Amino acid sequence: MKKHQVIATISSLAIGIVFIGRIATAAPQDDPKGKAPFEENCRKCHGVRGIPPKTMKAKFPKIATFDADFFTKHTQDSIVTILTKGKNEDMKSFKDKLSHDQMEEVAKYMRTFVAK
Ligand code: HEC
């Protein structure tokens, strides 16, 4: 290999590494922190984007749909309080499963279901 080829190879490798680094650091911003705990703990009953599946609606007639109307009635804090204390029989407290910070993140993430 000639010297200029070696330099060309090294510099294209370096550009490649920087590029991959950019992708890796950009990913978490696209994926809000509350997403994973929501999918793990809430999705089963509340649906991927806050619309409960029919089976859950049938099982829990009172289950909430997280739509724009819901968020006019529930503040960030009131959602965190529900997650901490639970509500009625079927909406359990998540204080043993989620940290306070995670509850805040989950409550924030839920708002993205309606945010445009
Ligand atoms: C076992 C099913 C189930 C799971 C899992 C579940 N929920 Fe619920 N959730 C319910 C039901 C049922 C209600 C309606 C409770 C009621 O009003 O009696 C409810 C209500 C709510 C409400 C509205 C309470 C109100 O004041 O109207 C919020 C907010 C909520 N859930 C958030 C969550 C979040 C966030 C998670 C995950 C950390 C979660 N839920 C997991 C079943 C579930």
> What gap in Å lies between CA 59 and CA 48, rounded to an integer?
17
User: How many alpha carbons fall within 13 Å on the CB side of residue 100?
Assistant: 2
User: pLDDT per position in the chain (116 positions), as tens?
Assistant: 676 666 566 566 565 555 555 555 554 456 799 999 999 999 999 999 999 999 999 999 999 999 999 999 999 999 999 999 999 999 999 999 999 999 999 999 999 999 66
Full-model pTM: 0.80
- Which residue among 55, 85, 91, 100 is best mutated to probe the pocket of ligand 1, counting the most ligand atoms within 8 A of its Cβ? 91
DSSP per-residue codes, 16-45? HHHHHHHHHHHHHHHS-TTHHHHHHHTHHH
Residue nearest to atom 3 of ligand 1 (CA): 45
Residue nearest to atom 17 of ligand 1 (CA): 62
